[in-house]
Structure 1
Amino acid sequence: MTAQHPVIAVLGSGSWGTALAILLSRNGAIVRLWGHLATESERLHRDGENREFLPGYPFPGGLSVTADLGAALQGAEEVIIVVPSHAFKAVLEKAVPMMELQTSLSWATKGVEPQTLSLLHEVAADLLGDKPTAVISGPSFASEVAKRLPTAVTVASSSPEHAEKIAGYLHSDCFRAYTSDDIIGLEVGGAAKNVMAIGAGIADGLGFGANTRAALITRGLAEIMRLGMALGGKRETLMGLGGMGDLVLTCTDDQSRNRRMGLALAQGLSIDEAKQEIGQEVEGVMTAQAIYNKARKLGVEMPITEQVYRVLHQNLDPKEAVQNLLGRRKRQEAG
């Protein structure tokens, strides 16, 4: 093991975890990709690619797959968690006792801990204390990263050294990693944009057009900024890759599972039917409830989030949700 070939454990073998594992391995790291189901990990190992979630992209030679968490973590210099937000705490609780003292932690999970409404860095701090951690977020579809299409993300940490280290692992001629110290802003942007993408999918599915989509994205960004800044995030972060950049991506492209959820709901499908059609986790469904409750607790006005929450969790008709937004009193744009 050398500085040029760090050992990195990627926990989570879905599309994004697989894409990051491939990127890191292409960059020279020794990567252990962990999945919680032995049958899935065995299939990935046998196929030499993730045929279910990221077909057509063979694993580089430095990438191995395992369902043994201890084996994945042994000797790892860095652990990157890439599991759905509702599983984040459980995976971290299992991993922490097995991590070596010098091992550092980062994550590319986007969401909120559903039971406590905690941001993920708060969950990590409860288990790790003041050990430096980092979050990786930005506009990044897994398939485009695997295709080596130009991509840029942000790595945020309270430790500049840790942020630079993670960015160094990720950075390549087709993948640019910026650094930041604003963990809160990056996490809020990454979580809340999924809710807005469901809203954009609903509006497009109902045939409301490009004008409506542009208005929803812009006012959605205003909501995200109000929440992020109320929690201590920075305006420039929420206007950057992990805020506006990720929001535009997920609201406008059908590679977004959350946008596809909105499209399906507009067509009259139930959440379960839409999930079955999409075939992967749709973070915005659970995140909508968490963000809505967090905003109410803080007294932050988030009308788009509220209507998406009501569609998802109170059986509100999508058409009525749009009318509720259009019927709000007129006001100044700022704020």
Structure 2
Amino acid sequence: MARAAVLGAGSWGTAFAKVLAEAGTEVTMWARRPEVAKVLDSEHRNPWYLPGIELPPIAATHDHRAALAGADIVVLAVPSQSLRANLAEWQGDIPGDATLLSLAKGIETGTLLRMSQVIAEVSGADPSRVAVLSGPNLAREIADRQPAATVVACTDTSRAEAVQLASATGYFRPYTNADVIGCEIGGACKNVIALACGIASGMGLGDNSIASLITRGLAEIIRLGVAVGAEPVTLAGLAGVGDLVATCTSPLSRNRSFGHVLGAGGTMESAQQATHGQVAEGVKSCTSVRALAAAHGVEMPLTNAMHQVCHEGLATSEAVGQLLGRRLKPE
């Protein structure tokens, strides 16, 4: 039996720990807050992030060393912009041949590194030990055992297959892929496009508008992906289109919900309150994704508009006008 350490007890970390346990993997979770670890361990529930969900008997601890001991798979389930600091604290206790699996979706601010690059740099692990998981994986639906598929990407096929086996259930179907770059670019950029779709929804715009934003957003993602070495076919799959559609259209998506409040006339502060006090990942990622695109000479007008709305005070109505006012050209 494989043994997994899940470091991070947010909604997705908790849901994925549930998947692993129900796939027959031995799981220990680490939670940053002692009170969360205590309730997870003794009551097998997480009322802070997945209220109403009964978990399998998963061990949980506030001591990362106890969680990491003997782990074959180390699941990194913390936000992208805090991954480096957390990993620096954990890296000395990670078993030497463990597969490091990233659930984080983002581009690191400042360095413009993808999460797998941050993991390899901080941990000193060979990149072939680093895997990423990405797809249309809304945590609440998966915790409810609603059918979903995902992609496990790793340059080492045997490691990808080991994670696949450790997480396959009757409701959760993982596929393997060697294109780590494509999976990470799709996962980072879709959060930004979901903000735009949320804003459009909050402004009362209809399905034609949302479909147009998703389609043009996908074009931006593919342009950036190809520029940094991704395979276009990856972005046409679960880690690209699949993740993009789910995040842009579901009310369970924090990024879409955050954008909806902004589009309805709310402030950044009220949008944060509406998403349970958490800033949506796309708010942080839009700046780093925009910078990465600029470094590679890639045009990303939607991403640029989201950066201006979130960080430069551009009104949402002006952002829409800016996008619609762009010069006419072939698709």
Range class of TM-score, shorter chain: over 0.9
Alignment partner of 1:128 is 2:124: yes
Give the Å deviation of 1:157.
0.4
Who is 2:310 aligned against? 312
Residue 46 of structure 1, CA deviation: 4.0
Match of 2:173 among 159, 162, 176: 176
1:118 has 2:116 as partner: no
Report if the CA contact (8 A) 1:84-1:281 is conserved: no
Give, in angstroms, the shift of residue 217 of structure 1.
Answer: 0.4
What CA distance in whole angstroms lies between the structure 1 residues aligned with 2:322 and 2:78?
A: 34
Mapping 1:216-227, distance limit 5 Å: 216-227=213-224
CA deviation after TM superposition for structure 1 residue 143, in Å? 1.1
Structure 1: distance between partners of 2:111 and 2:289: 11
Q: In structure 2, the residue corresponding to 1:188 is in which secondary structure?
A: helix
Q: How many residue pairs get matched? A: 328
Q: Is the counterpart of residue 26 in structure 1 residue 38 in structure 2? A: no
Instruction: Pick from 21, 35, 50 the counterpart of residue 46 of structure 2.
Output: 50
The one of 210, 235, 257 equivalent to 2:254 is 257
Q: Is the partner of 2:149 in helix, strand or coil?
A: strand
Partner Cα separation in structure 2 for residue 46 and residue 173 of structure 1? 27
Report the TM-score when normalising by structure 2: 0.96
Match of 2:62 among 58, 63, 67: 67
1:106 and 2:104 equivalent? no
Q: 2:198 aligns with which of 198, 201, 210?
A: 201
How do 1:147-296 residues align onto structure 2 when only pairs under 5 Å count?
147-279=144-276, 280-296=278-294
In the TM superposition, residue 273 of structure 1 has moved relative to its aligned partner by: 2.0
Deviation at 1:179, TM superposition (A): 0.6
Could you tell me which amino acid in structure 2 is paired with residue 30 of structure 1?
A: E
C-alpha distance in 2, partners of 1:304/1:100? 42
* Alpha carbons 2:73, 2:99 under 8 Å: kept: yes
Q: Distance in 2 between matches of 1:330 and 1:245?
A: 29
Amino acid at match of 1:253: S
Task: Decide whether the 8 Å contact of 2:102 with 2:116 is kept in 1.
Answer: no
Report the more deviating stretch, 63-72 or 274-283: 274-283
- Give deviations 1:122-152, integer Å, cap 9, x for gaps: 1122132425210000001111111111100
Separation of aligned partners in 2, 1:128 and 1:78 = 16
Give the gaps of 5 or more residues in structure 2: none
1:83 match: 78
2:306 maps to a residue whose letter is: V
Distance 1:12 1:231 in 2: 29
State how far apart, in whole Å, the 2-side matches of 1:113 and 1:40 are.
27
* CA distance, structure 1, for counterparts of residue 292 and residue 240 of structure 2: 18
Alpha-carbon distance, 1:289 to partner: 0.7
CA distance in 1, matches of 2:231, 2:269: 36
Contact conserved, 2:40 with 2:59, CA < 8 A, in 1? no
Amino acid at match of 1:287: S
Alignment root-mean-square deviation, CA: 1.1
CA contact (8 A) 2:23 2:166 kept: yes
Write the letter of the residue equivalent to 1:35: A
**AA partner of residue 196 (structure 2):** G
Q: Are residues 1:97 and 2:92 paired?
A: yes
CA deviation after TM superposition for structure 1 residue 60, in Å: 0.9
Per-residue deviation, 1:90: 1.4
Q: Deviations over 1:203-229 (max 9, x none)?
A: 111112111111100000000000011
Residue 27 of structure 1 deviates from its aligned partner by: 1.2
Alignment-mate amino acid for residue 327 of structure 1: G
2:6 to 10, 35, 54: 10
Distance in 2 separating the partners of 1:102 and 1:291: 31
Q: Percent identity?
A: 42
Give structure 1 regions of 4+ aligned residues with deviation exceeding 6 angstroms: none
Note closer, same or farther for the CA distance 1:82–1:229 as it changes in structure 2 (3 Å cut).
same
Q: In structure 1, what residue type is equivalent to 2:83?
A: F
CA distance in 2, matches of 1:156, 1:249: 19
Moved more, 234-243 or 50-59: 50-59
